[in-house]
Structure 1
Amino acid sequence: MTYESIQLSIEDGVATLTLNRPDKLNSFTQAMHLEVRDALARVQSDKSVRVMVLTGAGRGFCAGQDLSDRAVEPGSPGVDLGASVEQFYAPLVLTLRSLPMPVICAVNGVAAGAGANLALACDIVLAAKSASFIEAFCKLGLIPDTGGTWHLPRMIGMARATGLAMLGEKLSAEKAEEWGLIWRAVADEELMPEAMKMARHFATAPTKGLAFTKKALQASYANTLPQQLQLEADMMRELGYSHDYREGVAAFMAKRPAEFKGE
């Protein structure tokens, strides 16, 4: 597939996916969804990729849905927004959550609506200090989709989640860090250098162990403590036979840097 609204580069184990409709604040159209879906399939199938960075081109990260792509007028029949969620936004979130590698989101500007919740579906979120998060759905008579109603209360508690969802107020990157919504807010000029520094670290890290960590943390939302303890035992049993565990122990004993293969 030739991409028109995104960019994808893969180099030294790092896949960088850039939303590339800067004149529209990287808002989603159906065509953009299909391109992102194709890019994520390529990332998932490329065994050389050990970390992915998601970011946006221009002055915004993602303004959510491009409303002109499904414009409606008062009195018109409307559109089936549930179908849009089922066909595009839900699979996008589930794919990001299930990628067997760390996913870093570098929020370079406004992240609004589905764009805000797309960022929250990633594993580690870095944001420029000038960036902001807006759950803008309430201003259109909608609910926070793209996993927003699931992620927000778990990340920042019900009171703050309700306020963001029902008021649609802008949340600064620094406040988002203070609330625990994102990992870190950094100076604008440091965003991509910091994101790529982290990506290069993950590209040489024990990828299988990180993928299992990701799965275990996600499973903890639904599991009881006994179930989670059993999951930990099962995962540790498998990881104990991995190359990277043996290499990590050998490197520690020999006091040398480990050379992980991600397996």
Structure 2
Amino acid sequence: MWDNRDEGRPLGSETRAEGRVGSNVGLQVFSNMNLNNSKAMNFKKLKVKIATHYHLEAIDGIYDASLQVKAKLAGDISKEAQAIEADSTLESDERQYMLSSLGDDFFIAEITTELAGEMMVVALYKTVEISIKQMAKASELFTVDQLRSFYKISDLKKQFKKKICDIKTLKNYKAYDELRCINNAIKHSGVVDKDLAAYPGFKKGEKLADLHKHYNRLRDNVDGFVIALQDEILKKIP
């Protein structure tokens, strides 16, 4: 679902924890799994479940924080501009130069909010990338060399298809892949490339924009993909 708000946290974020162990590794993870029966618990499965535990709330706050800084800066700049305008000791060219410099400061604040959106997308993809690799490692179904190859999406798909499942068939795979394509476009050029243009709303060659909205839109579905992948890995562990 698209989040049409320019600010705030994503819609549906309250559902992101469904299917995974609790929100506190030190307490709820283990209590939810009923440690009274821990002897029967497969330790590898436990490690796989813990690998999917991460806090997206920290990423959620990046854009909101940038907006707060921007709003404060806008207020400060307005006050400074009023003071400059009211200063009768300034020559006209001095006044214009000082006002122009304030405009530069506000432009930097605008750029900062754009960068915040980029950071959210990159942070989410990196978090998921690490989680997938940790799950695979914990399962002990992959060799060290296979794990090292996961930075290439083609190798990751190939190895998972051999050992676990075809990840393209999993629920919310398209959300994960779209996030991957946005992440790559951010890192490589800052514009929509061929792979990303395959998804609705993107046109090849266009500058990436409103990335915080794409983060909000994809966040929960990408999280759901990780849970679906976790379930498939658990099925393969004896």
- Whether these two folds match at TM > 0.5 is no
Normalised TM-score (structure 2) = 0.26
Larger Rg: 2
Report which structure shows greater RCO (CA 8 Å, sep ≥6).
2
Normalised TM-score (structure 1) = 0.24
More strand by share: 1
